[in-house]
Structure 1
Amino acid sequence: MTLPKGYRGIVLKEALKREVEGVDRNIYVIYEFDSVTFWNWDRTPSRNDAFIAAFDWLDVSEAVSIHYVQ
């Protein structure tokens, strides 16, 4: 699946895990991607799969944010 236009996926890595609460954390982008592979082991993927259906929320969030920004 190609990610929707205007979106990108990222993989983050924390440089050094802090054991103390309230201390700044150093998190870096180590990889970017624009597509993902999704499959079901027992059936063909469809629009009813939760993972794929979650992408519909991107449209909803854009519609809501555009409404409130204007």
Structure 2
Amino acid sequence: MDYATFLDTITRRAPVPPEKAEPLTRATLETLAERLTRGEAEDLARPSCPSRCRNRWFRPLRRPSPSDSTNSSIG
């Protein structure tokens, strides 16, 4: 899938305005990558993300610590 098609798909599925699709996608992928190991991120990104997204946004920044799951404030 190319980058434009990827963002168009997000715009239709979310639904969000086209100008918000890229920053929302970037924030989502960066946040997800922070919580995955490098191998997990590569496995998830490989089949569906265009290389532009994989290379820029979907790189794990750190390895999650055990306290990440217990100190989550999602809700």
User: What TM-score, normalized by structure 2, do the two folds share?
Assistant: 0.28
Larger helix percent: 2
Greater RCO, CA 8 A, separation 6+: 2
Larger Rg: 1
User: What TM-score, normalized by structure 1, do the two folds share?
Assistant: 0.29
